[in-house]
Amino acid sequence: MSGFAWGAFGLNAAVAAGAALAVMLITFAVAVARGLHRIVDVAWGLGFAAVAAASYAVSAATGTGDPVRRALALALTAAWGLRLAVHIARRGGGHGEDPRYERMLARAPGNRNAYALRKIYLLQGALVWLVSLPVQAACHVDAGAGPVTYAGAVVWLAGLVFEAVGDHQLARFKSDPAHHGVIMDRGLWSWTRHPNYFGDFLVWWGLFMMVCDSWQAAALTVVSPVVMSLLLTRGSGVALLERHMADRPGWKEYTARTPAFFPRPPRR
């Protein structure tokens, strides 16, 4: 274990907060102009990429952290965030408002856009900052990148592959009109009901592992993958989607043979 540049990390945290806020405010302005708040989902991945770039810049400017680790943190986070942003943009192209946001804004006490700014954009910006703490801290760990750092990169890669392949399989399945209303239970979706969310889980625990050469950085940032795991399993991920799917024909049978989150071979 080795030291951690606390002062530079404090500066980094402030700059990262500004980067996340800037992405959300720009997205809000575009959303208001288009009358479509669902584009905030595209900004989720872009926000992480912006924070990673800002953290890399602070680390390089202050001369703190290991160059290999900070380059890995930037490259892995940006690759994940940009892929997710492109995927969501393609998936949502040509569609109207997301029903989640439509229901939320229907309850707005006053101006809908002001309510959306508080309850959607600023909240998501704060979550981007919190969840990205391992990426920020990785840029200020003094130790050279070692086995734990590279193991984290391997876990990240497994998560990205799981997420990207799952998204591709689902998109291809839904593109066939014959599958309208049919439960997707093929490929990775026969191993887990949510391969994309499980992939996210691996991505963020892998990025956390990259700071574990410093016990200070690990203790400071472990809250981030824990929060992301709770969001994926108990918050806006698995739990919300499963409530939405509960009445679909074939869903009960699908849940009986396929685990909700952690993969295992499919049962007959």
Q: What digits encode the pLDDT tens for the residues 160-194?
A: 999 999 999 999 999 999 998 899 999 999 999 99
Q: What digits encode the pLDDT tens for the residues 124-166?
A: 999 999 999 999 999 999 999 999 999 999 999 999 999 999 9
> pLDDT at residue 93 above 50?
yes
- Angstrom distance (rounded) from CA 41 to CA 195: 19
How confident is the prediction for the chain on average, in pLDDT? Answer: 94
> pLDDT at residue 44 above 70?
yes
Return the structure tokens found at 110.
């006053």
What was the pLDDT predicted at 1? 47
Write down the residue that tokens 């994940």 correspond to. 80
> What integer is the mean pLDDT of 36-61?
96
What was the pLDDT predicted at 95? 82
> pLDDT at residue 27 above 50?
yes
> pLDDT at residue 258 above 90?
yes
> What integer is the mean pLDDT of 93-101?
82
Q: What digits encode the pLDDT tens for the residues 185-231?
A: 999 999 999 999 999 999 999 999 999 999 999 999 999 999 999 99
151, 209 contact by CB (below 8 A): yes
> pLDDT at residue 267 above 80?
no
Q: How confident is the model at residue 236 (pLDDT cuts 50, 70, 90)?
A: confident
What was the pLDDT predicted at 237? 83
130, 223 contact by CB (below 8 A): yes
> What integer is the mean pLDDT of 57-66?
96
> What integer is the mean pLDDT of 5-30?
97
